[in-house]
A = this chain, B = another copy of it.
Amino acid sequence: MSPSNSTRWCPTPEHLMILEEMYRGGIRTPNASQIQKITAHLSFYGKIEGKNVFYWFQNHKARERQKLRRKLSKQLYQQQLLQEQLCLHRRHNQENKFLSSNESPPPALHQLSLGKSADYLHPGGVGSAAAHMTSCTWKRDPPNMYELQNTSMMRSYGDDWTMMMLKMRDAGPTHYPSCCRSNRPLKTLELFPITTQNVKDHQATTSNPSLNSYS
């Protein structure tokens, strides 16, 4: 059907360019007012109404997610395979090598396998522990939170930032479609974000609620 009497919106290339630009720019769920403006703007390039804009964002968001999911699971699966291979390979090498030496082998540049923990996709795979970052560093103001936490973990890793920052958890995903969810209990090492009470000057001014209250 020709665009002129189509029952549905036929976005022009300009429409798509601009919408995609906005999407990249972070717009996901524009509110009514934004939609109005966008629509007004886009109508310069061709027939369009608000609902088209609305639906476009809805669909685009959903479909990008979908694409991402598929891509990731594919990637991750392959990476896992790789990792497994690598592991076997290394084991093999080491077993042979260390029979006649006490050095440890230098790290192989690109043999680092960076499995992106596709655990939920392929349960039972190699790296079943995924990890998360938590922003809790303290460089100058070591807070007093150690006792609140898993002290054994703390002690064993000392000041090692990585261990502090990382909250290792079992692969059991929390935010995934139910079909992907694992029922296993989490083996979470608890680590709480630190909130220093020392308020720096700029914090006092920039995050002062009274200055920021809009409600």
Q: What is the interface of chain A, defined by CB distance below 8 A to chain B?
A: 18, 21-22, 24-41, 43-44, 49-51, 54, 61, 64-65, 67-69, 71-73, 76, 106-107, 109-110, 112-121, 127, 129-134, 136-137, 145-146, 150, 153, 156-157, 160-162, 164-176, 178, 189, 191-197, 199, 202-204, 206-208, 210-215
Shortest CB-to-CB span from A116 to chain B, Å, is 6
Q: With a CB–CB cut-off of 8 A, which chain B residues contact A145?
A: 40
Question: Can you list 17 residue pairs at the A/B interface with Cβ under 8 Å?
Answer: A18-B109, A22-B114, A24-B196, A27-B192, A31-B133, A31-B171, A32-B131, A33-B115, A36-B166, A44-B107, A49-B160, A50-B162, A51-B160, A64-B207, A72-B211, A132-B213, A171-B214
Shortest CB-to-CB span from A81 to chain B, Å, is 15
Q: Quick check: A35 and B213 within 8 Å, CB to CB?
A: no
Leading 4 A-B pairs by shortest Cβ distance: A32-B131, A50-B162, A32-B166, A33-B171
- CB closest residue in chain B, given A213: B132
Q: Quick check: A67 and B25 within 8 Å, CB to CB?
A: no
Q: With a CB–CB cut-off of 8 A, which chain B residues contact A153?
A: 36, 50
Q: Name A41's contact: one of B34, B54, B112, B168 (CB within 8 Å).
A: B112
Q: Name A21's contact: one of B172, B173, B196 (CB within 8 Å).
A: B196
Shortest CB-to-CB span from A205 to chain B, Å, is 10
Asked, given contacts A26-B195, A51-B137, A165-B32, whether A112 binds B211 with beta carbons under 8 Å apart, the answer is no
